[in-house]
Copies of this chain bind each other. A is one copy, B any other.
Amino acid sequence: MPDESLSPPELLGDIPPEQFRSYLHRVADWIADYRETIEQRRISPRVRPGEIAARCSTEAPDEPAPLNEILAELDTVVMPGIVHWGHPAFLGYFGSTSNGPALLGEMVAAALNVSAMTWQTSPAATELENVVLGWIRQMVGLSESFTGVVYDTASIATLHALAAARERCGTAVRERGVAGHDVPTHRVYASDQAHSSIDKAMIVLGLGEMNVTRVPSDEAFRMDVAALRAAMAADLRSGICPMAVVATVGTTSTTSVDPVTEIAAVCTEFGAWLHVDAAYGGALGLLNEGRWAMAGVQLADSVVVNPHKWMFVPLDFSVLYTRHPELLRGVFSLTHAYLRGDAARGTADSAASYADYMDYGIQLGRRFRALKAWMVFRAFGRDGLAARIRQHCRLAQQWAQWVDADPRFVRVAPVPMAVVCFRHVPAGLDDAACDRLNEAIVNAVNASGCAYLTHTRVRGRVVMRIGIGNILTTVQHLERVWALVQSETDRMATGCEMST
């Protein structure tokens, strides 16, 4: 007989319900306070590597600690090392906005802690995923011919898309792999502005990093379609399979938009899969005046859109749409293998009329991600999402005007969305010195704790970059950041030695 008294009761079960309720309220207030005071915080902490870890024991704790003490350590140990991505003057990367409705959704999803492997393991999780996939599809302007699935990140979504493309080449890759039999080299084409997740996907898929052909981009950082066609034709003549083209709607550095319609025509010509990386730019499809960005995406075989980038859903939430869901399922469903052999996992019959999303991807354990998206989309509505996205575009235009009006800076790329790249180019400095100077300005601005920019490289040169994606960011915030950029630039220019 199991004798539960063998373990002291305080070492079993959960924390007592009344205590839990009280801590839930305490953390609720902690979160409310955090959000209300976020603007008063230094965005980027002043910590040296190892400083946070040094406050923790390197030994796993033996004894239970009171929650009281742990929550105190949250403030003393953890918070001093946090970069406040939610601060309205955090303009790094693409803003991943947390917000009220989203946070409530995250809380509930964590409490439910279901796994959306199959319809049966939680019907509401699968069906809500289906519902929000429909909403996002409509909002970004894709037709019903696209079927979606939610993954964690765009990198994983693109990996799945290219896995499907690889399978379509028709050489039974799923079964036999690409090595050891007569499979041609598969090549993928993307602009020199496209995201590194394409390289990672090609590495993982066993197709090789060298088989990502980087096609030159034009003066607006858009893929040169003539160069694409020439590269594909040359490869085809050499017996290489032009497997897929990745077109980008909203590149990471400059948010440039590839000419998707023309690229689609080239894909048709060569029988190549067209994957569109609209991870960031898909959101622009919510605006009537932004629909141009999604022109031609209708013709794609697959499209990735990241609501955690510019649709106000927190990390992580990435959507892949494809016109060939049966192919994706054909690569990833193991139902047949499973039925052939011994059981490799506990299973449940699925409802034939609903997709079991585990059959469409690598991951088996799948969080109930749809809930937070459902909360955000219901709470803000399409109109609210669009208004916020439009506002971010306007704010970026404002920043671009400031840059354009200031002789100390050049704007290095058009601003079709909510990202601005600019560079301080004083006379008499060579490119490398200018690179160091721009990096130093970014570091100085970030060191102030009042703003956070990133630097990136455009045409090989270091530039400053802001990305506006936070629903709390107003023009007043940007005015202050702009003043800071100006003053740090002047300070650097007046003789300070730059650190490299």
Selected from B35, B63, B113, B337, the residue in CB contact (under 8 A) with A96 is B113
CB contacts (< 8 Å) of A175 on chain B: these are: 208-210
A contacts with B, residue count (CB < 8 A): 201
User: When A112-B85, A199-B337, A387-B11 are in contact, do A377 and B124 touch as well, CB less than 8 Å?
Assistant: no
Tell yes or no: A487 within 8 A of B by CB. Answer: no
Q: Which residue of B lies closest to A439 (CB)?
A: B349
User: A337 near B209 (CB under 8 angstroms)?
Assistant: yes
Selected from B83, B108, B163, B465, the residue in CB contact (under 8 A) with A114 is B83
User: B174 near A179 (CB under 8 angstroms)?
Assistant: no
CB contacts (< 8 Å) of A2 on chain B: these are: 391, 394-395, 397-398, 475
Q: In the complex this chain forms, how many copies of it are found?
A: 2
User: A206 near B206 (CB under 8 angstroms)?
Assistant: yes
Tell yes or no: A58 within 8 A of B by CB. Answer: yes
Bound-state Cα–Cα, A332 to B201, Å = 10
CB contacts (< 8 Å) of A180 on chain B: these are: 183-185, 240
26 A-B pairs, CB-CB below 8 angstroms? A7-B387, A10-B384, A17-B35, A24-B32, A31-B108, A35-B111, A60-B139, A61-B382, A64-B379, A81-B125, A85-B114, A93-B115, A96-B115, A106-B110, A175-B208, A177-B205, A177-B208, A178-B208, A179-B179, A192-B342, A193-B344, A195-B345, A203-B332, A341-B460, A343-B456, A347-B455
Closest Cβ–Cβ distance, residue A53 to chain B (whole Å): 4
Surface stretch bound by B, among A288-296, A308-316, A424-432, A490-498: A308-316
Surface stretch bound by B, among A223-231, A260-268, A319-327, A361-369: A361-369
Tell yes or no: A305 within 8 A of B by CB. Answer: no
User: A81 near B124 (CB under 8 angstroms)?
Assistant: yes
The digit string for A149-190, where 1 denotes a CB below 8 A from any CB of B, is 000111110010001001000000111111110011110000
Tell yes or no: A458 within 8 A of B by CB. Answer: yes
The digit string for A40-65, where 1 denotes a CB below 8 A from any CB of B, is 00000101111111001011111111
User: B208 near A362 (CB under 8 angstroms)?
Assistant: no
Known pairs A13-B472, A153-B362, A252-B344; list 10 more (Cβ under 8 Å): A6-B394, A8-B387, A49-B123, A56-B374, A70-B101, A78-B374, A152-B365, A155-B363, A197-B362, A251-B344
User: B344 near A195 (CB under 8 angstroms)?
Assistant: yes
Closest Cβ–Cβ distance, residue A187 to chain B (whole Å): 10
CB contacts (< 8 Å) of A240 on chain B: these are: 180
CB contacts (< 8 Å) of A456 on chain B: these are: 343, 345-347
Bound-state Cα–Cα, A183 to B208, Å = 12
Selected from B127, B184, B199, B347, the residue in CB contact (under 8 A) with A53 is B127
* Residues of A12-26 contacting chain B, CB below 8 A: 12-15, 17, 19-21, 23-25
User: B196 near A345 (CB under 8 angstroms)?
Assistant: yes
* Residues of A117-161 contacting chain B, CB below 8 A: 119-125, 127-128, 130-131, 134-136, 138-139, 152-156, 159
User: B122 near A81 (CB under 8 angstroms)?
Assistant: yes
Closest Cβ–Cβ distance, residue A212 to chain B (whole Å): 9
Tell yes or no: A454 within 8 A of B by CB. Answer: yes
Closest Cβ–Cβ distance, residue A52 to chain B (whole Å): 4
CB contacts (< 8 Å) of A308 on chain B: these are: 365
User: When A56-B131, A383-B63, A471-B14 are in contact, do A107 and B110 touch as well, CB less than 8 Å?
Assistant: yes
CB contacts (< 8 Å) of A351 on chain B: these are: 48-49
Tell yes or no: A278 within 8 A of B by CB. Answer: no
CB contacts (< 8 Å) of A176 on chain B: these are: 208, 210
User: B334 near A196 (CB under 8 angstroms)?
Assistant: yes
CB contacts (< 8 Å) of A78 on chain B: these are: 124, 128, 371, 374
CB contacts (< 8 Å) of A433 on chain B: these are: none
Selected from B29, B106, B334, the residue in CB contact (under 8 A) with A200 is B334
CB contacts (< 8 Å) of A138 on chain B: these are: 59-60
Tell yes or no: A233 within 8 A of B by CB. Answer: no
User: A253 near B344 (CB under 8 angstroms)?
Assistant: yes
